Chain A
């Protein structure tokens, strides 16, 4: 073993292709679409019930959020602790998750305990009762949580930024303590009757999703769930901003939270994959230009990054960091400089090749178990796309050129049009 040359990197291969476990479509007796991502070697299963958020009303901004949180606080004849006990006893997990576009109820269980645990989920999605006392507790505790969060610069910068981009829509609404006082139990029940009904539900089953699992789900959820309230889809559209500076002064701050960005592309846009490559170069990985310059060269921050985020009908691009207050302006200048460089100088071939390999490698790393394959499916399904999206994405990553990236930076990254939010001192 004498004589290995440690200065020479070993040979390596680019990731050629990525094998996805594809979803199979089923339809329950009442018309609910169910998609299964089946891994027969598993003994466990994840079942997600996904409901689009609907009926947006800025006078009742917390309806969807409160309903999702309250589902497990009482359903059918079971109170909150009975629901938890029945799930816990079998080592299962029942989760509720709220995002801007969707509200989800998820069960994780070993397959052999599906018979015992899934009926509880049926109660939760079809017969939640929203007990008054639990609702009061929820409101009180959420207000306190909000007050704690409002002491965090990062939290403040995020809400001001979202509002600057998306105004009083579900994406941008700035919740105040008083909004919690507007929550009324009867509104929640109305919302529940609209949103949590079969025609607004999609079920995704991953893990061991064999025929018996699908059949059992159909028995429970394909029938006896007869809500038919009217519902209005949430539809929003947004314009480019005017690039204002939003400064929220925090006199005792040791660091300032910076958030800069603009409305951008959704996953459906043909340039989405290309713009992801550009974003990776700028701030999408540890070796990115923002990290290399602002953390690893200047030491201004513990971390800085950028991302392109896709919603149902829109998307946005942002850069975020927390930096020492004394170097806040210097950090802003460096951010602007990095964007200008992307618009004026082609990305060197050496760097572009690295970024391409990195993106393909991390896509592969992102598929570590069957649940991640289901997540990949959700990305395309809820954007109304097919698996071709991933083939195109990989092809784009492999073939995009520095000249194309230069064009993209000119088209989509405009520092002057970006909203700039600083919470702290400058």
Chain B
């Protein structure tokens, strides 16, 4: 049940697709589209249906509108711990996994700073089993002390495996609080520290469930070899009896604009130094998100990218260096990370990055260079349409952002970005006072 890493790799999945109609768009003119039908139950559950009869499978994806950003600062890591507890049995069904496996189904879930997402893949003929299981755990959990105790241990081991027992594994535990001083993005989904998880109590678990796990706070997408009528019938049967509850009000403290450059140096037993730079950038639905995302591609996607050609190959400053965006709903981070080659100091490495950043601020990118990354974004979307689960997850995510059909407008939004937009966005991102720099040095 990945957290941080999922978050960082999601931008590709969530870039799924539609059509191309811009003049700059030489490569694509095919129209692709993820079709869906939508209905809402009386208790507030939103249901989307995507029929795809090229597969004998069905997918049921349920997104709950709660993530690590909704946690109490004294109880971080709770949304993710709770996700584990959702597999510990529900009011009428002792085991969640067992009956699903018995009908040939597989399932998993992930938690990010913004959302908690659960999914099932199973033979479409056995679709009802998924409705039975998911409706029961939306209705109520078993809340077993044993499950809480075991999952606290499992999550602590996950914390160690992914964050503490890996070289550079704790970097996000340090970079988040450097870049965010106010917004709850300042802690990672796994939590600030092990003790927050170790101290989780049953009464907190129950309160969390009551507040966030109910129909009006969820979006369900059913896809594959299914029909709208069948999904309607099953939704009425299994989910309609669950009582509705008011949608929780979200009032998060927003991050004030950064006014001064921030720096931190840590030392650890790692084989080589590493450089991390984070710049505040717009949230997922802002036009500026698309600009920043394309800038990250221009800088570091593939063998012909600027970082690869200039910093890795020509100047031999880095052995690896990447730029990416965190794709969060509230304003996110544009991140650059790299490992300098032997003999290059961390200061030289940072200066070389700034050279590239200055260049993209001072000189407009070539139209061909921009077209190339836009084309790559679109083809990535076309290819990810081959995956039913990706389509279902993306529909749920864009429905949360306001309308599932936004998914079908993604390509147009990328295609509409101009050379001037890129330059303006680069100028607003790459300012000293918008920068947090972490030097992660070898002992």
A residues with a Cβ closer than 8 A to B are 1, 4, 6-7, 9-15, 41, 43-44, 72, 80-85, 88-93, 108, 110, 113, 133-134, 137, 140-141, 144-145, 147-148, 150-153, 252-255, 285-287, 295-302, 322-324, 353-355, 357-358, 360-362, 364-365, 367-371
- The answer to whether A13 and B313 have CB atoms under 8 Å apart is no
Q: Which residues of A contact B125 (CB under 8 A)?
A: 12-13
Does B309 sit within 8 A of A, measured CB to CB?
yes
Nearest-neighbor residue (CB-CB) of B94 within chain A: A7
In the complex, A133→B315 CA distance in Å?
Answer: 12
- The answer to whether B272 and A147 have CB atoms under 8 Å apart is yes
B residues with a Cβ closer than 8 A to A are 26-28, 30, 54-57, 91-93, 97-99, 101-107, 121-123, 125-126, 128-129, 131-132, 135-136, 139, 149-155, 157-158, 160-162, 164-167, 236-238, 240-241, 269-272, 302-304, 308-309, 312-313, 316, 319-320, 339, 341-342, 368, 371-373, 375-376, 378-380, 382-383, 386-389
In this complex, the member of B56, B129, B304 whose beta carbon has the largest number of chain A beta carbons within 10 angstroms is B304
- The answer to whether B304 and A6 have CB atoms under 8 Å apart is no
- The answer to whether B28 and A362 have CB atoms under 8 Å apart is no
Contacts known (A91-B27, A108-B383); A1 close to B240, Cβ less than 8 A: yes
Q: Which residues of A contact B128 (CB under 8 A)?
A: 10-12
A141 interface neighbour in B30, B104, B320, Cβ under 8 Å = B320
B104 interface neighbour in A9, A80, A88, A358, Cβ under 8 Å = A358
A89 interface neighbour in B91, B97, B162, B368, Cβ under 8 Å = B368
A302 interface neighbour in B55, B136, B161, B312, Cβ under 8 Å = B161
Instruction: Identify 9 residue pairs between A and B in the complex whose beta-carbon atoms are under 8 Å apart, listed by A's number.
Output: A14-B104, A84-B303, A93-B383, A110-B28, A145-B320, A153-B165, A297-B150, A322-B161, A368-B57
- The answer to whether A368 and B388 have CB atoms under 8 Å apart is yes
Nearest-neighbor residue (CB-CB) of B163 within chain A: A254
Q: Which residues of B contact A10 (CB under 8 A)?
A: 126, 128-129, 131-132
In the complex, A312→B11 CA distance in Å?
Answer: 37
- The answer to whether B319 and A84 have CB atoms under 8 Å apart is no
- The answer to whether A15 and B104 have CB atoms under 8 Å apart is yes
B238 interface neighbour in A4, A302, A324, Cβ under 8 Å = A4
With A301-B161, A355-B101, A369-B386 known, 5 other A-B pairs at CB within 8 A are A12-B125, A81-B303, A141-B341, A145-B320, A361-B101
- The answer to whether B272 and A91 have CB atoms under 8 Å apart is no
A12 interface neighbour in B129, B270, B387, Cβ under 8 Å = B129
- The answer to whether A361 and B371 have CB atoms under 8 Å apart is no
CB of B9, distance to nearest CB on chain A (Å):
16
Q: Which residues of A contact B312 (CB under 8 A)?
A: 137, 141
- The answer to whether A150 and B271 have CB atoms under 8 Å apart is yes
Nearest-neighbor residue (CB-CB) of A10 within chain B: B128
Contacts known (A12-B126, A147-B271); A85 close to B166, Cβ less than 8 A: no
- The answer to whether B123 and A361 have CB atoms under 8 Å apart is yes
CB of B274, distance to nearest CB on chain A (Å):
9
- The answer to whether B303 and A354 have CB atoms under 8 Å apart is no
CB of B246, distance to nearest CB on chain A (Å):
23
In the complex, A404→B160 CA distance in Å?
Answer: 40
Nearest-neighbor residue (CB-CB) of B124 within chain A: A364
Q: Closest 4 A-B residue pairs measured CB to CB? A: A361-B104, A299-B153, A91-B379, A84-B303
A368 interface neighbour in B92, B103, B166, B387, Cβ under 8 Å = B387
Q: Which residues of B contact A358 (CB under 8 A)?
A: 101-102, 104, 106
- The answer to whether A299 and B149 have CB atoms under 8 Å apart is yes
Contacts known (A4-B237, A4-B238, A9-B129); A353 close to B270, Cβ less than 8 A: no
In this complex, the member of A15, A151, A287, A368 whose beta carbon has the largest number of chain B beta carbons within 10 angstroms is A368
Nearest-neighbor residue (CB-CB) of A285 within chain B: B101
Q: Which residues of A contact B342 (CB under 8 A)?
A: 140, 144
- The answer to whether A255 and B157 have CB atoms under 8 Å apart is yes
Nearest-neighbor residue (CB-CB) of B121 within chain A: A365
Nearest-neighbor residue (CB-CB) of A137 within chain B: B313
In the complex, A365→B387 CA distance in Å?
Answer: 11
Q: Which residues of A contact B237 (CB under 8 A)?
A: 1, 4
CB of A381, distance to nearest CB on chain B (Å):
22
CB of A330, distance to nearest CB on chain B (Å):
13
Q: Which residues of A contact B54 (CB under 8 A)?
A: 41
In the complex, A295→B164 CA distance in Å?
Answer: 19
Contacts known (A1-B240, A299-B149, A364-B123); A151 close to B309, Cβ less than 8 A: no
Q: Which residues of A contact B382 (CB under 8 A)?
A: 43-44, 91, 110
Contacts known (A9-B132, A12-B129); A299 close to B154, Cβ less than 8 A: yes
B93 interface neighbour in A7, A81, A144, Cβ under 8 Å = A7
In the complex, A84→B313 CA distance in Å?
Answer: 14
- The answer to whether A80 and B270 have CB atoms under 8 Å apart is no
Q: Which residues of A contact B92 (CB under 8 A)?
A: 6-7
- The answer to whether A302 and B154 have CB atoms under 8 Å apart is yes
- The answer to whether A6 and B136 have CB atoms under 8 Å apart is yes
Q: Which residues of A contact B157 (CB under 8 A)?
A: 255, 299-302, 322-324
A322 interface neighbour in B165, B167, B236, B376, Cβ under 8 Å = B165
- The answer to whether A296 and B123 have CB atoms under 8 Å apart is no
CB of A72, distance to nearest CB on chain B (Å):
7
- The answer to whether B269 and A361 have CB atoms under 8 Å apart is no
In the complex, A65→B409 CA distance in Å?
Answer: 41
Q: Which residues of B contact A89 (CB under 8 A)?
A: 26-27, 368, 371-372, 375
CB of A12, distance to nearest CB on chain B (Å):
4
CB of A216, distance to nearest CB on chain B (Å):
19
In the complex, A378→B62 CA distance in Å?
Answer: 35
Q: Which residues of B contact A360 (CB under 8 A)?
A: 104
In the complex, A301→B165 CA distance in Å?
Answer: 13
Q: Which residues of B contact A4 (CB under 8 A)?
A: 237-238, 241
Q: Which residues of B contact A150 (CB under 8 A)?
A: 271
Q: Which residues of A contact B378 (CB under 8 A)?
A: 91
In this complex, the member of A43, A137, A298, A355 whose beta carbon has the largest number of chain B beta carbons within 10 angstroms is A137
- The answer to whether B132 and A6 have CB atoms under 8 Å apart is yes
In the complex, A365→B101 CA distance in Å?
Answer: 12
Q: Which residues of A contact B97 (CB under 8 A)?
A: 286-287
Q: Which residues of B contact A108 (CB under 8 A)?
A: 383
Q: Which residues of B contact A368 (CB under 8 A)?
A: 55, 57, 386-389
Nearest-neighbor residue (CB-CB) of B381 within chain A: A91
CB of A336, distance to nearest CB on chain B (Å):
20
